Amino acid sequence: MSGTILITGCNRGIGLELCAQFAEIGWKVLACCREPKKAAELAVLQERYPSIQLIRLDVTDYEQMISLGKAFQGEPIDILLNNAGYYGPKGVGFGAVDRAEWRRVLESNTIAPYMMAETFCDNVAASEHKLIAVMSSKVGSIADNRSGGGYIYRTSKTAVNQVVKSLSIDLEPRGITVLALHPGWVKTAMGGPGALISAEESVGGLKKLLLSVTPAKTGRFYNYDGTEIPW
């Protein structure tokens, strides 16, 4: 199948690789990032794949998001993939949490994906594939937390998992499937050089999952390899 996918956070890492792999199979890719003029790798990719459309979007700028929604009014979007996110300070343990940074991470990782769903749900409902996906993380799984710490990033992903679950219920009457995804520990600027898998491997698995998902899987949390993760 082919269709249209809107991806946020496309200037590097997983987002950039998602653009490449979907464009390669003939999809129209709406590639969003904060500063397209500075996204050199994305511009090179667009030269190779003209089906990629570069779009300026800061996912925490809701006026900009609403304007973009109006610009795409009536255009079907088969997959809305909320990939943009912010990790925040690393190595911060109990007693040293920066509250301002915590709010910033929650804004990017939890509130923004909800606002994207609210803004573009009509576009998704008008498509054939009807899928909204949110890049979460296994560290947001309460059942999997055996090490503690990570309060800022962990809570943002646990919270967005709850957003996914509620969206799956609220949007089910419109035929929209909603998923939370874990990309694995990926060798990116966020994951670092010691990570276990490449962006190509992660996205290869994610793409397979996104293209094969059925409405029966809505409201669930999946690893990039297709295995389900407990909440």
pLDDT recorded at residue 191? 61
- What is the phi/psi pair of residue 135, to 5°? -75, 105
List, for the chain, all residue ranges whose pLDDT scores fall below the cut of 70: 189-192, 194-195
pLDDT recorded at residue 92? 83
Distance CA 109, CA 155 (A): 10
Distance CA 134, CA 120 (A): 13
In a domain, 182, yes or no: yes
In a domain, 172, yes or no: yes
Residue 227 sits at the vertex; the CA angle it makes with 225 and 231, to the nearest 5 degrees, is 125
In a domain, 228, yes or no: no
Tell me what the pLDDT averaged over the chain comes to. 95
Which CATH number goes with the domain that contains 99? 3.40.50.720
In a domain, 230, yes or no: no
Tell me: the pLDDT tens digits for 145-200? 999 999 999 999 999 999 999 999 999 999 999 999 999 988 776 666 766 789 99
Q: What is the pTM of this model?
A: 0.95
In a domain, 96, yes or no: yes
Contacts of 35-42 with C-beta under 8 Å, sequence gap 24+, read 35/11, 36/11, 38/11, 39/10, 39/11, 39/12, 41/11, 41/12, 41/16, 42/10, 42/11, 42/16
> Which residues partner with 30 through β-bridges?
6, 53
Distance of CA 51 to the CA centre of its chain: 20
Cα dihedral 114, 170, 5, 205 in deg (nearest 10): 90
Domain count, the chain: 1
pLDDT recorded at residue 90? 87
**Contact by Cβ (8 Å): 87, 140:** no
In a domain, 58, yes or no: yes
In a domain, 54, yes or no: yes
Helix (H) or strand (E) holding 220: strand 220-223
Residue 179 sits at the vertex; the CA angle it makes with 202 and 196, to the nearest 5 degrees, is 20
**Contact by Cβ (8 Å): 198, 152:** no
In a domain, 186, yes or no: yes
* Domain ranges, residue 132: 4-223
